[in-house]
Structure 1
């Protein structure tokens, strides 16, 4: 009588372990992915902040006679600052040299990731905007860059820079087919324009 009871108990323990181990490993994989996503977001946030901080100091464009023609953002340099915010080699959690996650350096892909002549492209992985408005929570339009004593040529009054970075994150443990193997992370940083130029 006791030998059959022991066999039932041993079989029951194996079944319980199989069920609980599945749940434990599922929770463990979710915790690992959530931790990696958190650290990736921190790296992206630092890169967006670096780009916005640099971009908050606009460049003054002059003509051949030295007259100011525009006060504008240096989009190419802002993008470069974002790329190198984590150093000059891809390392760590977020690879800022490969935002779309295809294994190819973003600089070799032309305007797919960022196009300086169309910096507000919503399909890009780096979006740089120059909106205006007194309230940073409700910005719209675009700051004028060439009109004397208006917007960017008026010490950047009510002008902002908004840098958005999108990043294709591949899940370390793709545990649910419903979620897919990757997600797009998005980070935005907004700062006021810091210009002293009026004219």
Structure 2
């Protein structure tokens, strides 16, 4: 099934401003611009030593149900996929980050390689004072998303935009975007590093 997904998908983008999709039951996605995900940084070679994710940025798929379910702590950015473990490496807090402002409206972009019925999109952010040198855990994240976009099991169009206000923060943080697929047991995960 993983090979089928890989062959079907190249280039799904999560955070920035639009959701894009194409056609079959195998969907994939990751955050793009203006807030760029770690997997996108690997795919466009802004960051090196990324392993397989550089060829499969759209494939960060894991169990849905976050935060009560989903990938284990420390494996969240890779969706629990060991083959993409480079995404969980904090790299000493040195992942490239997008400059953002507290309270500002931020547009998030999803791009799909294949459309899939969708339950919702949720965006979580790290707590003030979290440790950027450690792998991402639930304890480091706010327990509630700062933005939830319900999608009611509909199939998204080729592009979809949604915006929300960022919480008040200072310093470096991680935004975790979770796209919950409606008709499979999985969701797609994307970590994006931001600098307030």
Is TM > 0.5 for Structure 1 vs Structure 2?
no
Greater fraction helix: 1
Q: Which structure: larger Rg?
A: 1
Q: Which has the higher contact order (CA 8 A, sep 6+)?
A: 2
TM-score by length of 2: 0.36
TM-score by length of 1: 0.36
